[in-house]
Amino acid sequence: MRLTLLLACIAMTASSVALSQSADEIMEASQRAYYFAGKDAKGMLKMALIDRKGNTRQRVLTMLRRNHENSGEQKYFMYFHEPSDVRRLTFMIWKYPKRDDDRWIYVPAVDLIRRIAAEDKYSSFVGSDFSYEDVSGRDLSEDTHSLLDDETLDDRNVFVIESIPLAPAAFTRRVSWIDKEHFLPLKIEYYDAQEQLQRIFTANVIEDIAAGEGDDRRVHPTAMKRTMENVRTGHRTEVIVTSVNYDVGLSDDDFSERHMRRPPREWIR
């Protein structure tokens, strides 16, 4: 009896804590879990680009990310292994919280490094259903967020959050189903100006990835399989994380023109 009461108390406390969390706080926690896990990360991704008829194109890339300690800035590096016409191509993004990102591309066939306009954030990332913004995250201050509901999705307790852009964006409304335990988004729906469903993101497989040892040991729940489906075109992109490591010790200087041209072997092999 006493135990039940205790449990009820704990449950009540937990739910009141949860309720007191504002939509902004939930979205911030979600962004931290999805885009900022660890001090840095190194992963290998396989992207399958599948059209309505089932024709599949494939991209294989190594992605590195490093968070700046407290400014909210991040650096991203991507190296393409496949398809072969873009093999050795690299991308670098320096992401800032309040202004446009710096982006570079390296075209190995002519040994050329070029800036890419950051306005491209709504453009498709390498022909997939993900935009550049989906890959590296959208500033939370660009939208207003409100908590619509608490519910369960596939037996997981989730917050349902609606985000409305303050300035015109690629979508007019976005609804996110965010896991109450690890705060990863399990599903996101994007709507257009006609209130029509445009795209659906789903995190299909989530695994705990451990980093560090002893007191430094942390566990980062990670979406190992993600899908973005365009409801209108029937085109979808499945991303499978074939390997991921956190806190690998990347330094700020690693995200440089030097390494775009010649990435260290340990990054890409």
Is 128 an interacting residue with respect to other proteins (CB under 8 A)? yes
Nearest to 42 by CA among 186, 220, 226: 220
Say if CB 242 and CB 205 are below 8 A apart.
Answer: no
Q: Which is nearer to other proteins, 86 or 219 (CB)?
A: 86
Contact pick of 9, 109, 193, 210 for other proteins (by CB under 8 A): 109
| Distance of closest approach, residue 120 Cβ to other proteins, in angstroms | 5
Contact pick of 18, 44, 116, 153 for other proteins (by CB under 8 A): 116
Is 90 an interacting residue with respect to other proteins (CB under 8 A)? no
Quote the CA–CA distance of 110 and 87 in Å, as a whole number. 13
Instruction: Give CA 8 to chain center in angstroms.
Output: 36
Is 127 an interacting residue with respect to other proteins (CB under 8 A)? yes
Site string for other proteins, 59-88 (x = CB under 8 A): -----------------------xxxx-x-
| Distance of closest approach, residue 54 Cβ to other proteins, in angstroms | 13
In this structure, how many other beta carbons lie within 10 angstroms of the beta carbon of residue 59? 21
Say if CB 167 and CB 182 are below 8 A apart.
Answer: no
In this structure, the dihedral spanned by the alpha carbons of residues 125, 144, 179 and 101, taken in order and rounded to 10 degrees, is 30
Of 38-46, 64-72, 111-119, 189-197, the window that binds other proteins (rule: CB under 8 A) is: 111-119
SS percent in the chain: helix, strand, coil, step 5: 25, 45, 30
Residues binding other proteins (CB under 8 A): 49, 51, 55, 57-58, 82-85, 87, 100, 102, 109-112, 114-120, 122-124, 126-129, 170, 235, 252-253, 256-258, 262, 264-265, 269
